[in-house]
Every structure is written in structure tokens, then in C-alpha cells.
Structure 1
Amino acid sequence: MKISLIILTFVLLTSCQTNGKEKQENFFELSTKIDSIISENKFNGVVSLSTDSIDIYSKSFGFSDLENKVRININDQFVIGSISKQITAVLILREYEKGKVGLNDKIGNYLTEINQPWTNDVTIHQLLTHTHGIVDLDKPLEFKQGSQFHYSQLGYELLAQILQKVTGKTFKDLSTELFNQYGLKNTSHPNNKGYKNLVKGYEESENGILEYTEHSLENYAAAGSFISNVEDLKKWNQLLYSEKLVKKETLELMKTKYSTRIHPIFDTIDYGYGLLFKDGEQSIQIGALGYAPGFVSACYYYPQTKLNLVILENTANNLDDFKKTFIVQTEIMELIKNQT
């Protein structure tokens, strides 16, 4: 009996050591391939690949200020574009969990100042899924609510206004409370003005020169102009997918396919609540890309391996072809998905 126990212990230890070695080799291979992707493309920003406890890849490249040649730091802050939408979705869903809003509630129940008949038809769910048809607050719907998909920044701004009506707080204060509650110290509503390490954003001009843009924060905050860094976005993923921000059942709602879009980068992509995924890949690769003038980003989670990928870039090249603009983000994502 004692000999059998010794043999079993030896086998288990050897197996653990072998698995650990294989994992290290896989991580090294991933890091080498990420280096290769970056070296073959223009990239100015930061890349982070991690598990909950291990930083597999964490590097910064280029400058936060091109004119003054200030090197980017891994902890610098960036405008995160449409990654912001999942933050807004979480804020709405937390009120849903409290019973303060219903996903099928008509938005006219809350936005009484909008004098349009469609407020009695469009629902909160349709705002979340870009299926509402609203193109202008003073115009009729573009299509019958719920019948089509049209990507909309305005829809998420209306969600922010609904949150303000329901909570009695400004959207800035409500989002700030969320960030403070969960220790997201580097994440900020743009109107807070408390961000100290925000890099400058640059866009490639028609003659191929990177020029500083002053318009990075002009989108609705709820739709595309929250500010964050790799550490906080990694933590956001950990909180969200471990059901600390919303309940398990609510997270499943976020990960459910409600609509499909013909996408300028992915060709086709499915939408949940603030989250994007290829058809049937919710348990493989899920998250969002983000674009704001001068800022190109990706924040994805890989449920099978619990990997977090965050890529934040402050130079936007090839703006006539978004597939080229996001080439580093999508090639690294494909690499990790294939590895998974």
C-alpha cells in the first residue's frame, strides 16, 4: 500500500511538472509570435496577454507624445472607444438586477422629453443591441424597431440618459462609483479630468503623416470615450467573467446572440449586450474592439484558457481600410484563438 502511494505521488508530481513545462513553452511560443506580428506592422502602443495570475506578455512600443519623443509606459491611459459600451451595458444590467428597469421596457417610460411616437415602441433591449432604428431624435425611425441592425452611438447615449433618470445621478458619477467600487483606479469618464497619464492620439493624414488629433473625446462617453489602461481592462475582464459585476444569469444575457452585423473588420460578427463574438464562439473568444479618433484598441477574453488580451494603440493608420488599421489587433486575436 505504501509503495503504491509513493508511485502515485511520483506520477502526479511528474505530470504536474510536465504540464507546467508545456504551459511555459506555450507561453514562450505565444510571446515570440506576438513579437513577430508587431515587428511586421506599424504599431505604437501597449500589448498585454495574461491569465488571472500570470503576465504572459506585457510590452509597450513607441511614444505617448510623438513630437517630444516621450516613450509609452505600460501603465499609460488610452481612450478605449467602443469597449466603453460593455461598461454602459453593465451599468444598465445592474439596475435591471435591482428591478429598476426592464429590458423590454419602452424608452418613453424614462425619456419623456423626447417628443417622438417611437419612444412608445423602442425598448431598452433594442438600444443595447443596435436594433432600434433611431438615427436622430427629431426624425422618424430608419426602420421598424427590432427588424434590422444599425450600429449606433446614439443608442448608448440614450441608455446613459435612462440611467440618469433611474438613479438620479449623472452618468459621470454613476460610472465613477462603479470604477471606485471595484478598484479600477485608472479608468475614468472623460469629464472627470482626473486622468494624468492619457497618451496623445494620432491619425494618419492623406499624405501618410501621423498628426495629433484633438477629437478623441468627442464621442458620447457611454458609447466610446471612457479612458482606461491595460491593467484595469484586464481586471475588468476578470470581474465581468467571474460574475462579480453582474450575476451569472445576467452575464449569459450579455453573451447571447441578438443580432448580426456586416462588419468592416470581421466581415460578419454577432452582438450581445456590449460584447462581440463570431457565431458560436462565445466560449472561445469574446469582447470588443474600440476606435476613437487616434486610438485603436481590443479587449478580449478567452473562456477556455482564461486568457485576457488587451491591445491599446494611439496611432491610427490606413483609415481608408479598417482591416489594415486593426491588423495587429486581429492577427494577435487570431493567433490566441488558434492556440486556444
Structure 2
Amino acid sequence: MMKQLTTFFWVSLFATSSVFGQKSNDFTRIDSLIHAESQKPFNGVILISQNGKTAYFKKQGYSDLEKKTVLKDDSQFVIGSVSKQITAVMILQEYEKGHIQLHEPIKAYLPELTQGWADSVTVHDLLCHTHGVVDFNKLSLFPAGSQYLYSQIGYEILSDIVERINNDSFANLSLKLFRKIGMNNTFHPESKYYKDLVKSYNEDENGVLIPETEKTKYAPAGGFISTANDLLTWNDYLYNGKLLQQSTFDLMTTKQPNAVRNHPIFGETSYGYGITVDTNNDIQQLGQTGYVPGSVCMSFYFPESKVGVIVLENIAYDADNIKETFFYHTAILNMVRDNLSK
């Protein structure tokens, strides 16, 4: 069904005279896509920005399907692996303060760890998924730094390091960061201060939407709660030198050795610290997809044009086919890329 919608969408989305045209009808093809009659309609929020300002914003559908509660501008979503860049920034800020070294074994910061891998796995390895740790109580799958394996547990360990350095909980420390930069609707899930978290749904094998009740196990890797507008603020701060020094930001956005993944949506994908780094067609694209059961998210940024693409959805269609699950997200992202390449 979704593939049938694609044909009309692979044409120019924006006015060719600039990245974004001045008239609202420059975005009619996105409107056509998400308004098209479908058994699997888009249910979420889309925000496209340029120069830190919203160029296109659309919310469609419900935060609660049973109650028919419509989405609001600041409806909150679990943002999945988009969370990792937040945790990465918090680690890198400690690096800038001289509190950690990126290539120091993590046992230097968490001396209670008795596992053998704690003597070889470094902060750098955790940031770019080259540590091979899949369980606290098991051996690493490969020597640190030698291979790539996408990991949630690595970011949990990073949050433990941040907590130890600051003698405070990761939930409190992240909340302080969010409030400092004006992300007033973004929370660590343990904070319990959020009020507008959407209800999320998974499509079962019979096409029935089932409310998701399972909580994300590793919040620093995939459990932060945010809004499209707050992610716009995050992108502005991160990509315009307001969170990290330029040299540190360059480390974060550099393709790291052996940090290459066969991504289920994008194919061969390179990683920096907490984000993917795509330079295909000479266009630098930074950011991340985020998926947890019932929540399908994406936040990408194009530094040269200062264009951001944020798509948050609280229905996971076709969960056994992740490309289809991200159908709306990748359709919009690809058309932005296509326009930027002209």
C-alpha cells in the first residue's frame, strides 16, 4: 500500500529558486502524501526548518486513538535512538571540562566494574559502538575498537560515567541541560514531569493497532521524551556551536574507524559519536532515526544549507519490515535531499 504512494512523491518538492520557497504551496506534495487516502495513514508531526526557523509544520492524527484526542503542537513522543546524541553531548561536555579522556578505559571512571572488557573498552568505543559488549555479565564479542555492533547498553554505561563524575542522577543532569537551553517539554522518562506524552501503537499481523505498554530499558540510548519544537531547539544549539566547542563537534561528526553499519533502512552507514554521518552525493547529513515499539522518529540536519527534517510518529506500521515502518519519514527525507542536490 505505502509503495503505491511513492510514485507521485518522487518529484521536486520545493521551489527550485531556493531551498524553501516563500509560498505555502511549495509543500503541497508533503500535504498530498500525508493526506492521501490510506489504510495506514500518517499519524504524527512533521517539522522542516531552515536557519533555525520553522519552514513547514504539520500535525495529523491522534495522540490517543481510542479517545480521538488530536495531536497538539507540543505533543511529546519517545524519540528512540535520537536520544543517543543527547547522551553523547553530555559525555563530550565532560571531556571538554577535562573530567574524562575519550581513549581511557572505562574502568578508570567506574572502578567497581570487574568484567575484563572494562580494562580495554574506552569511552570512544562506547560512543561509536565499537566495544562489543552485549551484556554486563558476559564477555565482549570482539576486541574493543575492532568491529562495529549497534548497542544500547553502551549508552547506559556512558550515562553511568556522567552520573559518577557529577554525583547526580542522569535524569536530573539531563533535565538541567534541557532547561538551560529552553527545551521545556523534553524529559528523561524517570523524571515523570511530562504531561503530553502520546499513546503509542504497534500494528499486529492482522493489521490491528495495539497500544504499546513496554517501557524502554535503556533511556540514555533510546528513551528520552521530546517534541518536534524542542528537537528544533536542540538542532539549533548542537549544529551552531552552542553546546560544544568546534573541535569537539568535529570529533562528534567525524566518521569513526570501524564504525560502519549495514543499516536496515539506509544500507552502509557511518557513525560518529551518537549520530550517523552521511556524505553521499557530496551532501553532509547528520542525525539519527529512532525506533522503539510504537514510536517511529527521525531527526536529520544538513549543515551546509542549515536545513532540518524532524518526523515523529506514534504508530509503528509493518513492524516486521522496518523500511515500511519508516515509509513516511524516508519519503520526506529523500525529497529534501533530492532538492538540496540540485
Q: TM-score, normalised by structure 2?
A: 0.89
Counterpart-to-counterpart distance in 2, 1:27 and 1:299:
24
The alignment status of 1:165 with 2:164, answered yes or no, reads: yes
Cα distance 1:235–1:29, how it changes in 2: closer, same or farther (>3 A)?
Answer: same
Counterpart-to-counterpart distance in 2, 1:20 and 1:256:
31
Unaligned segments of structure 2, at least 5 residues? 1-14
Counterpart-to-counterpart distance in 2, 1:107 and 1:91:
16
Larger Rg, first or second structure (1 or 2): 1
Aligned residue number for residue 35 of structure 1: 31
Aligned residue number for residue 10 of structure 1: none
Unaligned segments of structure 1, at least 5 residues? 1-18
Counterpart-to-counterpart distance in 2, 1:62 and 1:195:
20
Letter in 2 for 1:248: Q
Aligned residue number for residue 301 of structure 1: 301
Flag the structure with higher helix content.
Answer: 1
Q: TM-score, normalised by structure 1?
A: 0.90
By how many angstroms is 1:24 displaced? 5.9
Aligned residue number for residue 326 of structure 2: 326
Counterpart-to-counterpart distance in 2, 1:225 and 1:143:
27
Aligned residue number for residue 120 of structure 2: 121
Counterpart-to-counterpart distance in 2, 1:127 and 1:282:
28
Aligned residue for 1:25, secondary structure, equals coil
The alignment status of 1:100 with 2:99, answered yes or no, reads: yes
Aligned residue number for residue 266 of structure 1: 266
Number of equivalent positions: 321
Aligned residue number for residue 339 of structure 1: 339
Counterpart-to-counterpart distance in 2, 1:27 and 1:192:
41
On the 8 A contact 1:84/1:226 being kept in 2, the answer is yes
Aligned residue for 2:177, secondary structure, equals helix
Equivalent residue runs for 1:1-340 within 5 Å? 25=21, 28=24, 30-40=26-36, 42-52=41-51, 54-215=53-214, 217-258=215-256, 259-279=259-279, 284-340=284-340
Cα distance 1:282–1:192, how it changes in 2: closer, same or farther (>3 A)?
Answer: farther
Letter in 2 for 1:246: L
On the 8 A contact 2:130/2:149 being kept in 1, the answer is yes
Aligned residue number for residue 12 of structure 2: none
Counterpart-to-counterpart distance in 2, 1:301 and 1:145:
30
By how many angstroms is 1:136 displaced? 1.0
For each residue in 1:276-330, what CA deviation from the matched residue of structure 2 results, as whole angstroms up to 9, or x when unmatched?
1324578532111101111000011111221121110000000111000001111
On the 8 A contact 1:37/1:332 being kept in 2, the answer is no
Aligned residue number for residue 5 of structure 1: none
Letter in 1 for 2:28: T
Question: What percentage of aligned pairs have identical amino acids?
Answer: 44
On the 8 A contact 1:31/1:56 being kept in 2, the answer is no
What root-mean-square deviation, in Å, do the aligned CA atoms of Structure 1 and Structure 2 show? 1.9
Counterpart-to-counterpart distance in 2, 1:22 and 1:31:
13
